[in-house]
Structure 1
Amino acid sequence: MNHPFSTNAVEPDISLSICGYSKVLDIISNKWTALVIYAMEDGIIRYSDIRRRIEGVSKKMLTQTLRQLERDGLVKREITPSVPPIVEYSLTPLGVSLLEPMRALNQWTSKNYELVEQARASYDQVDQAE
């Protein structure tokens, strides 16, 4: 049996349908998902406060993102009966556990994204010259 990331595989050994890593990337690769999780990292927060914290998110996208995160078990939604009802969101323990790898990716981005931009610019110059 080949290692999951072996480079000498005879048959395909990386599958989108069974790879847990790609399934998790589907969850967190949406730009709004990461921002919503970061907005909740300090604890319980109301919908309107999340919306205020995230520049450019529409009500529709925020609602869809929160519903998906709730479905995935990363976010807990609580409604306090009042007029109007108070809706608050918080990360579940599973959602909190995602903060550490997201922070690591954020640190990598802060440290390396300028290099990515430089590589893109170099590539584009060569590509246009051809």
Structure 2
Amino acid sequence: MRARIDEDAKGRRLVSEACVEPCAIERGMRIIGGKWTGSILWHLKDGPVRFNDLSRMIGGASKKMITERLRQLEEQGLVARQVMDTAPISVQYSITKFGRTALGFLDELRKWSEELPNGLNR
């Protein structure tokens, strides 16, 4: 962060904190701020989940979108993919040790959103 000093129309000094791009919040949001990302991590917290089961857990997301997010999470090291030697072949996903580091603040986000006034939790 760095301080930025501006003046308003009356010549008063205004000091604001400006993020040096990308700031820590922006970096974090780039990793887990994608639509369905937090939900995927949250649903993997209790153990490995097969793809079809995961897609059922996340209502409203298409299988294409879930696949896309899972690939991104795998590339970032948050999720591990395992191909099962079954007939037919199935794939399961699990959260990595690094991915588990996000669960604390995702739980805080869950608690915060549960306490929102009725008009805001849509």
More helix by share: 1
In structure 2, list runs of 5 or more residues that go unmatched.
7-16
Could you list the per-position Cα deviations for residues 63-99 of structure 1 after superposition, in whole angstroms to 9, with x for gaps in the alignment? 0010011111100001123332121100000111110
- Give the fraction of aligned pairs with identical amino acids, expressed as a percent: 33
Q: In angstroms, what is the RMSD of aligned CA positions?
A: 2.1
Shift of 1:13: 4.1
Secondary structure of residue in 2 paired with 1:9: strand
Call closer, same or farther: CA 1:85–1:115 in 2, change over 3 Å. Answer: closer
Secondary structure of residue in 2 paired with 1:57: coil
Distance in 2 (alpha carbons) for counterparts of 1:103 and 1:116: 21
Find the counterpart in structure 2 of residue 67 from structure 1: 71
Distance in 2 (alpha carbons) for counterparts of 1:55 and 1:71: 24
Could you list the per-position Cα deviations for residues 22-78 of structure 1 after superposition, in whole angstroms to 9, with x for gaps in the alignment? 121122222311111111111111001101111111111010010011111100001
More strand by share: 2
Find the counterpart in structure 2 of residue 126 from structure 1: none
How many pairs were matched up? 110
Distance in 2 (alpha carbons) for counterparts of 1:93 and 1:78: 15
Question: Is residue 2:19 matched to residue 1:14?
Answer: yes
Call closer, same or farther: CA 1:21–1:116 in 2, change over 3 Å. Answer: farther
Question: Is residue 2:33 matched to residue 1:29?
Answer: yes
Shift of 1:116: 7.1
Q: How does 1:110-129 map to 2 (within 5 A)?
A: 110-111=114-115, 113-114=116-117, 117=120
What amino acid does structure 2 have at the position aligned with 1:15?
A: V
Call closer, same or farther: CA 1:10–1:115 in 2, change over 3 Å. Answer: farther
